[in-house]
Structure 1
Amino acid sequence: MQGSSSKRLLASIHDVGPGSEAAVDRLVATFERHLGGLNFAMLVVPDHWGRHPLAGNAAFARKLRDWSDAGVEMFVHGWFHRDSADHSGVAALKARHMTASEGEFLGLSADEAARRMRDGKSLVEEIIGREAAGFIAPAWLYGQGAMTALRASGFALAEDHLRVWIPETGLTLSRSPVITWASRTRARTASSLAVARLARSTFHPLRDVRLAVHPGDVSKQSIIDSIEATLAAFTARRQAGRYSDLLR
């Protein structure tokens, strides 16, 4: 499904919550400067690692509501974000190599995944006063239970590393790799910088370019510089769009 033929940049800030507030504020300022406003998405974690709950934090809830009122699309991003499941086979490889205990929805049963989706949706929507834009699993990792729960979740949109789709029907709305950065190790940082540099010269033919940043990105100036260069490269050729545009 192609929808509009105009080219879009879909930008998002992940892991938004009270514990990442200062870093998120810095990333918001960077996005505003390059995108010309609050036309991007936030992925909100209801209780990051069980240490930073949204519930009861009135000041941060007001901040989320203000951002949402100003146009930021709010996605539910798991519940804890932390993966505490025991994995085997392919799931174990994904958990070990694609994330550092962050793939919360990789090993959940359908019932538990549905409960966390439902609770996250209710909490975020109560805070922002409107429907959440969709659900995106932490680290973009979905196990079989999560996929089963997602189909009946009522969320309008979901995404992984390679596509955006409608959960209820499975219809793919957009295909493109996500440009993102890694700050956990020097090797991962170097690799993500190289991929972003390559994307800046090769992704322009794509209809939709997706770009995702994380609070940890602000810890390294090299990553901040790469984010700035990547935003500048793509905003010179396309408009900042909204995920909801894909539904039209």
Structure 2
Amino acid sequence: MTERLLLASIHDVGPKFEREVDVLAARLERLLGGPRFAMLVVPDHWGEAPLSASPAYARRLRDWADAGVEMFVHGWCHRDAAPAGFAARHMTAGEGEFAALDRAEALKRMTRARAVVEDATGRPAAGFIAPAWLYSDGTRAALADAGFALAEDHFRVWNPDNGAALTRGPVITWASRSRWRRLSSRFVAGAARTALGGQRVIRVAVHPGDTREPSILNSIDATIGRFARSHRPGRYAELAGHGNDLATSLATPPSLATPRSQ
């Protein structure tokens, strides 16, 4: 793959943030010209919203997956009950679930989460992305055991089987938990619109909390709008060389309304 790609994703997808995900999905469809993005699914966010107990939402995920949205496993519950290290405690509000797990526990949670996500979507998961992009050594080792095709952290996408980097470069994302985080993330996104223009693969990630801040939504619009003019909205699977058939079928996708519960 030599052309420039824009990879967009919605994090923390699940019944807990149903309304917020609807808003983000509709926005990305408009900006990208269709369902050309990924969803990162949490099977039981904070232990409060089990996907397995929400068949209506599972049907919605299947509708999105059928339309071409890539579905990633995004941890099990997203929350780290005992945050380890500065990043987990202060940068993610204790949501770095896989930041300190040993190999056996990480594999157990990955396997359990994958089963729930694949049962809901009716197709193999596209890969695994740890909450807050934080991985312990045990988690990285467990990825190869779990057999995921792709994994992502803040600075690269790689093949867990052999460790090969498929693309490098920072994810453009936003933070909404405090005023200074909102200001700094908007500043960084603005700088990235200029600094990263020559990068072959651009990754942009949005979160449910972004929907509560009009200034962040405006920044998302400006950032994705800028890169959509120079990079083709694509799929993570293309990085591994096995997504081109579906990418071609999505070149002129039908209009997709946000799926609704049956």
* TM exceeding 0.5: yes
What is aligned with 2:10? 13
- Residue 155 of structure 1 and its aligned partner are, at CA, apart by 0.5
- In the TM superposition, what are the counterparts of 1:35-184 in structure 2 within 5 Å? 35-87=32-84, 92-184=85-177
- In the TM superposition, what are the counterparts of 1:230-241 in structure 2 within 5 Å? 230-241=223-234
Work out whether residues 83 and 96 of structure 2, in 8 Å CA contact, stay in contact via their aligned partners in 1. Answer: no
Deviation beyond 4 Å, 4+ runs, structure 1: none
Helix, strand or coil: the match of 2:176?
Answer: coil
Helix, strand or coil: the match of 1:173?
Answer: strand
**Could you tell me the TM-score, scaled by structure 1's length?**
0.96
Helix, strand or coil: the match of 2:64?
Answer: helix
Q: Distance in 1 between matches of 2:78 and 2:220?
A: 23
2:22 is the counterpart of 1:25: yes
Work out whether residues 158 and 164 of structure 1, in 8 Å CA contact, stay in contact via their aligned partners in 2. Answer: yes
Q: Distance in 1 between matches of 2:89 and 2:175?
A: 15
Helix, strand or coil: the match of 1:55?
Answer: helix
Report the more deviating stretch, 71-80 or 142-151: 142-151
Q: Distance in 1 between matches of 2:91 and 2:157?
A: 19
Work out whether residues 176 and 213 of structure 2, in 8 Å CA contact, stay in contact via their aligned partners in 1. Answer: yes
Work out whether residues 85 and 108 of structure 1, in 8 Å CA contact, stay in contact via their aligned partners in 2. Answer: no
* Cα deviation 1:219-242 (Å, max 9, x = unaligned): 100000000011110111111010
Q: Cα gap change, 1:214/1:86 in structure 2, threshold over 3 Å: closer, same or farther?
A: closer
Aligned residues: 241
Work out whether residues 37 and 235 of structure 2, in 8 Å CA contact, stay in contact via their aligned partners in 1. Answer: yes
Helix, strand or coil: the match of 1:246?
Answer: helix
Gaps of 5+ in 2: 242-262
- Residue 123 of structure 1 and its aligned partner are, at CA, apart by 1.0
Gaps of 5+ in 1: none
- In the TM superposition, what are the counterparts of 1:153-232 in structure 2 within 5 Å? 153-232=146-225
Q: Distance in 1 between matches of 2:197 and 2:239?
A: 18
Work out whether residues 82 and 94 of structure 2, in 8 Å CA contact, stay in contact via their aligned partners in 1. Answer: no
